[in-house]
Structure 1
Amino acid sequence: MESFEFQNGNILDDVKVEYMTYGTPKYDENGLIDNAIVYCHGSLGSFSGINKILPLTFEDCPFDKDKYFFISMTALGSSGSCSPSSTGLKNKFPKYSILDVVNFQKQFLKEKFNILHVLGLIGNSMGGFVGLTQAIEYPDFQDFIICGVSSFKVAGHDYILSKFVDEIITSDPDYAKGEATYSLIRTLRMACLAEFNFGLSKEALRAKSNDELAMDFEEFGNEMIETDIYDLKYCNEASMNYDVEADLDKINSKVLIIACKQDPHFPPELDAIPMSKMIKDSELIVMDSELGHLCFNELENISYELKDFLSDFDDC
């Protein structure tokens, strides 16, 4: 895009957006795409997060590729799109919020596809933050939101985790240099390892031997050093400050909330269940999966429920 303006007034020019499309676009009488579903990935993911729903895109499946046109983009702040690492701005990149992520996405949809309204949005983890924020700020922009393993705010243990990650990063004096150093790479690894315990369920972790866990822990840390520490810092801070609890009554879209009983990040009793009571037109599914926060990799287990929810929009 030519430029993007952040909430804080900062403007960046020549803004990169990484994306993919999948499925079949259909057009209304004005020549506008009217069956678009936007997929929003989790923290520091990419457009490829849409792979989680691809097993359900065949004929007669909930996300039938012949019925819907999917657009998945790498969010503002993640390396494939405009981010601290891809711009080279590092710690001089403008601070951004979840609303900035929403506006970045919305501007792209308009400029690239002339899309002024989408059928729906599927958001996983931080992508759920994006979906709820969009539904609050732009209540007529979408017909439905599917919000998975997510919440209406970052609070409690999850807030402390974010604060801990932030503390690890900013405690390194090399952070202010704006360039990769050996110390920063080691600090990045430590910050990422703080997240290790919040993916799989406690049951799945307990099922492994300590030797297996130690190996998984080591491999996770080694893989995560491919992440840029400035991308991580900015994304973590945006999520840490997310709270839309007071505005949930502004949502007009129909909302499907997907939670997992074993999710260590967002336990249903603290997040999904209260949220379902605060959103007037919402449905709740609580999955049973030892994948925990990663349960979107098993969406085929709720295929019937997803298809039933989407049936309300077949004629939209």
Structure 2
Amino acid sequence: MPWTTLAALALQAAAAPAPATPVAQPPVAQSSRWVLKEADYTAKDVRFRNGETMAAVRLHYGTLGTPHRDASGRIDNAVMVLHGTGGSGRQFLQPQFADQLYGPGQPLDIRRYWIILPDNIGHGRSSKPSDGLHMRFPEYDYDDMVMLQHRLLTDGLGLDRLRVLIGTSMGCMHGFIWGEAYPGFARALMPLACQPVEIGGLNRMWRQLLVDGIEADPTWNGGEYKTQPLQGLRTASSISVIAGSAPLNFQKLWPTRDLATETARERVERDMATRDANDMIYQFESSRTYNPWPNLERITVPVTWINSADDFINPRNFAFAEAALKRMPNARFRMIAETDDTHGHGTHTWAVNWKQDLVDLLARSGS
């Protein structure tokens, strides 16, 4: 799909959605082709934006490929890919993502690029409430998460530049924060599946209802449960499944009442089995202060921002893109058209939908 002009973009933006979190999706097996080198970085004496502190925060991460140093000794081939709400770096080993990007001659060929896949605080194998602090864990937000990513790259991995930063869903929003908080650190930004605006309207409502559903379960017990509060998690996972829906794709895959009923129940059960109630509350509440809109002019590096038309969380009829592009001089926006093969908010995970856009972004941001 060709790049839109600003005039055409206004019409296009009026026809596509805007999400921001990894909602429940069917599990896809990791490809055996890709083996992560995994490690932990410990950030010491962390102060969060709200004034809370932790003596140490563990950040787990994995890498593919090998760092390359230029003549001055500077690593010049690092690519960071950021996951969405509830996800982890390992999700980017799924074949519909990894097998499209990392192989010989592909956009992120690991013979050429060093891929960094962190688990954000509150997620995966990084520090999180379920480690023991429960609801006493510091109330981190997206700015805190980006600050910790920056510490991982600079203090942990010795980087002062990224070749490109790719972010999906929550990671998409982190990409906009990166562009403002650390201008030029990433030579290019590729935010996938979000909006650069405060989380309000329906996007805030469904998140709030998800959190309220957990906290309304008496067995949640203020976060001090001995076993998971199943009714609260069922409510939260049900909302998450709806938020990740893709109407045309679902109709094609499960066209009868019985198939749809069975699949809906299976998806909720599968999602519940992966969740911890306190972790989930923190993961969704961390978006509460997100709002890069006032400072978009700080983002001057090349940006390719992509949403999908069947995204429940980022509705296609928002017109934010046209106004945002006028304030980010090197930004481009594309809306992926809805088909029965797109995946709603999860379309960003299927790299075939934006692989060529990444090739173009790498070309226009330098060799």
Q: Give the alignment's TM-score, normalised by structure 1.
A: 0.92
Choose which of 130, 138, 142 in structure 2 pairs with 1:98: 142
Question: 1: distance between equivalents of 2:130 and 2:359?
Answer: 39
Equivalent position of 2:206 in the other structure: 161
Q: Give the alignment's TM-score, normalised by structure 2.
A: 0.80
The size of the alignment, in residue pairs, is: 314
Asked if residue 219 in structure 1 is aligned to residue 263 in structure 2, the reply is no
- Alignment check: 8 A CA contact 2:217 2:229 kept: yes
Question: 2: distance between equivalents of 1:271 and 1:230?
Answer: 35
Equivalent position of 1:202 in the other structure: 247
Equivalent position of 1:107 in the other structure: 151
- Alignment check: 8 A CA contact 1:152 1:271 kept: no
Q: CA deviation at 1:46?
A: 0.5
Choose which of 224, 243, 261 in structure 1 pairs with 2:309: 261
Structure 2: which 5+ runs fail to align? Answer: 1-41
Runs of 4+ in 1 over 6 A off after TM superposition: none
Equivalent position of 1:233 in the other structure: 281
Question: 2: distance between equivalents of 1:55 and 1:83?
Answer: 31
In percent, how many aligned pairs have the same letter? 25
Equivalent position of 2:86 in the other structure: 44
Question: 2: distance between equivalents of 1:65 and 1:80?
Answer: 24
Structure 1: which 5+ runs fail to align? Answer: none
Alignment of structure 1 residues 36-185 onto 2, 5 Å: 36-51=78-93, 52-86=97-131, 88-153=132-197, 154-181=199-226, 184-185=229-230
Question: 1: distance between equivalents of 2:51 and 2:164?
Answer: 29
- Alignment check: 8 A CA contact 1:162 1:240 kept: no
Question: 2: distance between equivalents of 1:71 and 1:131?
Answer: 15
- Alpha-carbon displacement from aligned partner over 1:111-163 (angstroms, at most 9, x marks no partner): 22111221221000000111111111111211111000111132221111112
- Alignment check: 8 A CA contact 2:80 2:164 kept: yes
Question: 2: distance between equivalents of 1:279 and 1:29?
Answer: 32
Q: CA deviation at 1:280?
A: 2.3
Query: RMSD of aligned C-alpha atoms?
Result: 2.0
Choose which of 43, 59, 64 in structure 2 pairs with 1:17: 59
Distance 1:134 1:302, change over 3 A: closer
Bigger relative CO (Cα 8 Å, ≥ 6 apart):
2
Distance 1:120 1:271, change over 3 A: farther
Task: Choose between structure 1 and 2: higher helix proportion.
Answer: 1
- Alignment check: 8 A CA contact 2:303 2:361 kept: no
- Alignment check: 8 A CA contact 2:78 2:164 kept: yes
Question: 2: distance between equivalents of 1:271 and 1:215?
Answer: 37
Distance 1:199 1:277, change over 3 A: farther
Q: CA deviation at 1:81?
A: 0.4
Deviates more, 1:170-179 or 1:238-247: 170-179
- Alignment check: 8 A CA contact 1:21 1:71 kept: yes
